[in-house]
Amino acid sequence: MKRDNNHLQHNPSSSLCGGSSAGKAKLWEEEAAQQDCGMDELLAVLGYKVKTSDMAEVAQKLEQLEEVMCIAQDDGISHLASETVHFNPSDLSTWLESMLSEFNPPSSFDPFGAAGTTAGVMGTLDDPFVGGPAESSTLTTLDIENNNRKHQKRGPHILDEASCSDYDLKAIPGKAIYSQDTQTQPQTHDSSSSSTHNNNVKSEKRLKSTSGSHSGIFSPPPPAAVSSGIPTDSVRPVVLVDSQENGIRLVHALMACAEAVQQNNLNLAEALVKQIGFLAISQAGAMRKVATYFAEALARRIYRLYTQNPLDHSLSDVLHMHFYEACPYLKFAHFTANQAILEAFEGKKRVHVIDFSMNQGMQWPALMQALALRAGGPPAFRLTGIGPPSHDNSDHLQEVGWKLAQLAEKIHVEFEYRGFVANSLADLDASMLDLRPSEVEAVAVNSVFELHKLLAWPGAIDKVFSVVKQMKPEIVTIVEQEANHNGLVFLDRFTEALHYYSTLFDSLEGSVSCQDKVMSEVYLGKQICNVVACEGADRVERHESLTQWRNRFGSAGFSPVHLGSNAFKQASMLLALFNGGEGYGVEENNGCLMLGWHNRPLITTSAWKPAIETTATSTITN
């Protein structure tokens, strides 16, 4: 199989397609001399066990195998035709010897007698579809007889030759790949008829169907093509590749690239991130998307292409709303937090909610309606919304307040609103919030996906905890991602993030609205880029697990508030609205509620209140 691999070489002007075996052997011998005679590093990552000292020999064997397959007739290799072929090509040299012995070429065969036979050596080694460390690969061959009928077949569709990239293996729908037709120029300028015949023989070799209707893998060229001298471009070999095996190779390539980044081996990381992009094409659904986002994040880290400008607030709000509609995570967060606040406000005449994550205020209409239906009449409701500044200097928080005020008027709830713009929650001070005595007004503090951002600045989270305690709230409701993306070791963070976001993307596949799903993937992709590509104060997506938050709140002087069974039951009912609840699950964890996908917790709601401070008294007796 031949292709041009110039884009993977250090010298762009060199071409492997027309080179000689001696030139290739010399090139690999020079590379082997520069290494420690161990296994080749790039090939080892892809699953091949090839010593650098054996590279020239492996190249020659590959060329021999290619030449044999080009000149062999049906009678010579019909015994190799079968429905499936199982092999382990990790030991490349031994595998090539066995294949050559199976073909048993004629004694007159000269592997170095024709020019242009070295193409495809590096292509075979570097190709991510066939270069994985699979213990058992399943290859199936199909024969497409007429290019004009390619879209009518039930099997894989074939891409047009003009759309092919430098790779000769091209991913196409149906998890199929094919090789481009290549022609070898004759070594000597003989008669026109002889040259035409040789080119036709080269171009007309093709794979035959293994369905049992043909006797061998290869067939002679069609008579019409022979008589006319026109290459049979309409016939291309198609090889179906096991998508599951490619998925395993893709994950291995992602992990190997992350490890290379951690070890600051940027040359290897750069080569691997290119392989990741090519491998991702063969995947479908969530795996393809999440791998693409992680590949982009790795590339940004490798090339240091960090995002200079923060995400525009209006775009952030749009992505946030689509994520709200596409999946139940934000609805679950709002519902469980509101239920805890509603129970804490029971019997209170005046209530005040301080929201650290105001956004579009989507959480509060439901709470206002629940308060309006409360026995004995609704309390006076005051809302303080805190949010980041907008880049267009618009007062978006005030706009949200107007909309909520109109709703309050319709449902007859006394409403008071105030918005605060803050670059960070650490900039807040309790004196700014016009707090009233706890005997007059009950306070609740709410935060959804906000506290983890404070962990980027030393001491910021402790300052916010101190301010919250000064507010003397009845309850503090916290919703955070159930993940650990704040570790010191990059590879650990990467591994955790890969599992976490793969699960999130998988859960989005059941979304009814295609637009909501796509925009939600962009929303999550921004988080992936921040977790993987950024460091220092720029890395704000520092998610921590419930256990870690328990330790932080306990150390800051807060005690947990148990979320009632009523919240658990109603949250479970809420999930039935999304894909019939299939795949989603609610779990109770020591008074906290977790929402997960297929038994993998993804977000957690917890509730807290300042611990009662007791002062020890002593009696002095004389």
CATH number at residue 253: 1.20.58
- Residue 266, domain extent: 243-303
Q: Residue 567: its pLDDT value, please?
A: 87
Is 368 within the bounds of a domain? yes
Average pLDDT over residues 312-334: 89
Confidence (pLDDT) at 445: 98
| Model pLDDT for residues 395-445, shown as the tens digit of each residue | 889 999 999 999 999 999 999 999 999 999 999 999 999 999 999 999 999
Same structural domain, 283 and 319: no
Residues 470 and 348 in one domain: yes
pLDDT at 231 over 60: no
Cβ atoms within 10 Å, residue 468 = 25
What percentage of residues in the chain have a pLDDT greater than 70? Answer: 59
Q: Please state whether beta strands 176-178 and 140-143 pair in parallel, antiparallel, or not at all (unpaired).
A: unpaired
- Are 258 and 317 members of one domain? no
386 and 318 in a common domain: yes
Q: Which two tokens mark 336? A: 């469980």
What is the β-pairing status of strands 600-610 and 592-597?
antiparallel
CA angle at 350 for the pair 346 and 355, rounded to the nearest 5°: 85
The pLDDT confidence band at residue 17, using thresholds 50, 70 and 90, is: very low
What pLDDT shows up at residue 242?
55
pLDDT of residue 41: 62
| pLDDT: which is higher, 82 or 246 | 246
Residue 140 lies in a domain: no
Can you read off the two tokens belonging to residue 72?
């062999």
Between 476 and 200, name the one with better pLDDT.
Answer: 476
Query: Given this model, what pLDDT does residue 176 score?
Result: 34
Between strands 350-355 and 380-387, the pairing is: parallel
Q: What is the pLDDT of residues 132-149, one digit of tens each?
A: 333 333 333 334 344 444
- The last residue of one of the domains, among 303, 324, 344, is 303
Same domain, 325 and 282: no
Residue 529 belongs to a domain: no
Is 289 in the same domain as 317?
A: no
Residues 281 and 421 in one domain: no
Q: CATH no. for residue 474?
A: 3.40.50.150
> What would the DSSP string read from start to end of 567-595?
HHHHHHHHHTTTGGGTTEEEEEETTEEEE
pLDDT of 160 strictly over 80 = no
Do 396 and 317 lie in one domain? The reply is yes
Q: What is the pTM of this model?
A: 0.63
The predicted pLDDT at position 308 comes to 55
Do 285 and 433 have their domain in common? no
- The answer, yes or no, to whether residue 32 has pLDDT greater than 60, is no
Is 44 within a domain?
Answer: no
Indicate if 299 and 341 belong to the same structural domain: no
User: Which residues is 609 bridged to in the sheet?
Assistant: 559
Residues 305-328 have a mean pLDDT of 81
Q: Is residue 456, in this structure, part of any structural domain at all?
A: yes
CA distance 252 to 245: 11
Whole-number pLDDT of residue 284: 83
Domain end, chosen from 269, 303, 337, is at 303
pLDDT of residue 246: 81
Confirm whether 334 is domain-assigned: yes
Residue 31 within any structural domain of the chain = no
Residue 436 resides in a domain: yes
> What's the pLDDT score for residue 409?
96
Whether 358 has a pLDDT exceeding 70, the answer reads yes
Q: Is 621 exposed, middle or buried (0-12, 13-18, 19+ CB in 10 A)?
A: exposed
**pLDDT-based confidence at residue 7 (cuts at 50, 70, 90):** very low
Mind listing the pLDDT tens digit for each residue in 167-183? 333 333 333 333 334 34
Look at residue 365 in the predicted model and tell me its pLDDT.
Answer: 97
Going along 175-309, which residue ranges are E strands?
A: 176-178, 237-240
Asked if the model's pLDDT at residue 127 lies above 70, the reply is no
The phi, psi pair for 314, rounded to 5°, reads -65, -40
Average pLDDT over residues 190-199: 44
Report residue 95's pLDDT band, with 50, 70 and 90 as the boundaries. low
282 with 415, same domain: the answer is no
Residues 319-337: what's their mean pLDDT?
A: 95
- Please give the mean pLDDT across all residues of the chain: 74
Mean pLDDT, to the nearest integer, of 234-238? 46
Strand, coil or helix: 276: helix
Question: What backbone phi and psi angles, to 5 degrees, belong to 16?
Answer: -85, -20
Cα distance between the two ends of the chain: 101
Query: Within 13 Å of residue 115, how many CA atoms lie on the same side as its CB?
Result: 7
Region 600-619: mean pLDDT is 78
The order of strands in the sheet holding 237-240 is 140-143, 237-240, 176-178
- What is the predicted pLDDT for the residue at 46? 56
Q: Say what the pLDDT of residue 89 is.
A: 54
Q: What pLDDT shows up at residue 92?
A: 62
Distance between CA atoms of 68 and 100, rounded to whole angstroms?
Answer: 8
Domain count, the chain: 2
Weakest mean pLDDT among 22-31, 102-111, 214-223: 214-223
364 and 254 together in one domain: no
pLDDT tens figures, 462-513: 999 999 999 999 999 999 999 999 999 999 999 999 999 999 999 999 888 8
Question: How many whole angstroms separate alpha carbon 68 and alpha carbon 61?
Answer: 10
Mean pLDDT of 98-124: 45
Asked whether residue 3 carries a pLDDT value surpassing 50, the answer given is no
Of 274, 303, 332, at which residue does a domain stop?
A: 303
The residue with greater pLDDT, 306 or 179, is 306
Q: Is the pLDDT of residue 603 over 90?
A: yes
